[in-house]
A = this chain, B = another copy of it.
């Protein structure tokens, strides 16, 4: 084969296939040639081909349907407007019913989302972040599952201390006009500040199942905390999205007189 030696064959073949897909040689939704066929074409063994395909799967470029073949994925990158999504204007943009709706409609896809409400013991990390004792059922969890054209694209459980949420609209499926942020304000816990921490990690089993991810497809975790003006954390929301599918946009003003960087 025409492939040089210092680089492993399975990586080189992954490159060739990736290029071919990006050139449009294999259209989105279509099948790649079967592994035996590719093995013959590139004159390598089938496990080597399989290894190359595994790389592309990790990148979200193809999806494998056992018994059927390897499907080229359509990769419409979803942009998350991380800051402006908390403004009323974001809700109106695109005629959507919320920021997520606008984000998905902007791609010409159809958004959908579910919410599950339950009272639960939060993960220890969450309890600590909320300043609550660990191991007690002291939060309301609002688990949102979001879809674009019925494809799951985001999992976002939100944790609110029971002493704030219990018996309020926050603990209802329909949180009412203006969303839960408006409810927080009415209850005297107006959120004044948001912090988000972005990291990349492997999906948990549950995330993988819901987002239809393989284990070598990393997710972006957005650890979102809402703070009141007197710096009490009142909401932790853990957004989990497939890393290959999303771009996160942030934006803020700076004061040049005060600014610096090296």
Q: Residues of A with Cβ closer than 8 Å to B?
A: 11, 55, 58-59, 77, 79, 82-83, 85-88, 90-91, 97-101, 113, 178-182, 184-185, 190-200, 202, 215-216, 218, 220, 243-244, 246-254, 256-262
Given A251-B194, A254-B194, A256-B190, are A261 and B85 neighbors across the interface (CB < 8 Å)?
yes
Identify A182's interface contact among B179, B251, B260, CB under 8 A. B260
A180-B261, A181-B260 are known; give 8 further A-B pairs, CB within 8 A: A59-B202, A88-B259, A181-B256, A181-B261, A191-B254, A195-B250, A197-B247, A200-B220
In the bound complex, do residue A179 and residue B260 qualify as a contact, i.e. CB atoms below 8 Å apart? Answer: yes
Residues on the B chain within 8 Å of A97, using CB: 262
Given A192-B253, A193-B254, does the pair A244, B200 have CB atoms closer than 8 Å? Answer: yes
Residue pair A98, B198 in contact (C-beta under 8 Å): no
Provide the residues of chain B in CB contact with A86, threshold 8 Å: 254, 259-261
Which residues from B are CB-within-8-Å of A100? 262
Complex interface: chain B residues within 8 A of A178 (CB): 260
- Within the complex, which residue of B11, B216, B261 is in contact with A58, where a contact is CB–CB below 8 Å? B216
When chains A and B are docked, how far (Å) is the Cα of A82 from the Cα of B200? 16
In angstroms, how far is the closest chain B Cβ from the Cβ of A188?
11
Q: Which 10 A-B pairs have the closest CB atoms?
A: A98-B262, A190-B256, A200-B243, A198-B248, A185-B256, A179-B261, A199-B247, A196-B250, A181-B259, A195-B251
Q: Is the interface of A mostly helix, strand, loop or mixed?
A: mixed
Within 8 Å CB of A101, what residues of B? 262
Cβ contact within 8 Å between A215 and B11: yes
**A87 touching B249 in the complex, CB below 8 Å, given contacts A55-B216, A200-B243:** no
Copies in the complex: 2
User: Given A254-B86, A256-B181, A262–B215 Cβ distance below 8 Å?
Assistant: no
Contact B260 A91 (CB under 8 A): yes
A97 to chain B minimum Cβ distance, whole angstroms, is 6
Query: Quick check: A256 and B55 within 8 Å, CB to CB?
Result: no
A253 to chain B, nearest CB (A): 5
Contacts of A215 in B (CB 8 A): 11, 55
Residues B185 and A260 in contact, CB atoms below 8 Å apart: no
Residues of B contacting A58 in the complex (Cβ-Cβ under 8 angstroms): 216
Q: What residue of chain B has the Cβ atom nearest to residue A221's Cβ? A: B247
Cα–Cα distance between A82 and B259 once the two chains are bound (Å): 13
